[in-house]
Amino acid sequence: MPKPPSKTPKSASLQLGRAVAWPQTPDAATLDRVPNPQKDTNYLVRFTAPEFTSLCPITGQPDFAHLMIDYVPGAWLLESKSLKLYIASFRNHGAFHEDCTVSIGKRIAQEIKPKWLRIGGYWYPRGGIPIDVFWQTGRLPKGIWIPEQGVAPYRGRG
């Protein structure tokens, strides 16, 4: 009979497994990392945030995007609850599409130090013009299969 999965011990430093307040700004948000039990194996992790929201820094109008975050982990994995809270912290944050997308990629890369990371920001049109923003760190390790991000460059995104 297989052993039941062991529970990850709760840590006061992690947001996982406890109630935490929603961060009011991206700078106030904490991104948590956990040890990668497969750190000697190259593999891809994908996070999809199809309902990302921020504010236009000029008009204050809401902007919407479909974010795709792919990374090849090193010693650390990005904890998903903390990512959800970090992403939500942009809801009242005024920044241009390019700044939001690139700053999210850089912040994640800084926190978990992946072997490789790519973020695609597929922004819904405002004024009839969609803006797609892409950023990555370095070169992809050999032998990694990267599936298509699956977001059409433009077709109304709805």
Q: In the predicted model, is pLDDT for residue 3 greater than 80?
A: no
Mean pLDDT of the chain: 90
Report d(CA 54, CA 26) in Å as an integer: 11
Residue that has been written with the tokens 């904490």 in this structure: 30
Whether residue 100 lies in the annotated active site: no
Q: In the predicted model, is pLDDT for residue 6 greater than 80?
A: no
Whether residue 40 lies in the annotated active site: no
| N-term to C-term CA, the chain | 47
More confident residue, 124 or 1: 124
Q: Which of 127, 28, 106, 120 is nearest to 65 (CA)?
A: 120
CATH class for the region spanning 39-137: alpha beta
Share of the chain above pLDDT 70, in %: 89
pLDDT for the residue 130 = 87
More confident residue, 133 or 2: 133
Q: And the tokens for 141?
A: 């390790």
Q: In the predicted model, is pLDDT for residue 15 greater than 50?
A: yes
Q: What is the pLDDT of residues 63-79, one digit of tens each?
A: 999 999 999 999 999 99
Domain positions in the chain are 39-137
Q: What is the pLDDT of residues 100-132, one digit of tens each?
A: 999 999 999 999 999 999 999 999 988 888 899
pLDDT for the residue 5 = 47
Q: Which of 91, 32, 102 is nearest to 63 (CA)?
A: 91
**Which residue in 27, 32, 40, 63 is the catalytic one?**
63
**Which residue in 27, 32, 40, 56 is the catalytic one?**
56
**Which stretch of 52-56, 85-89, 100-104, 121-125 has the lowest confidence by average pLDDT?**
121-125
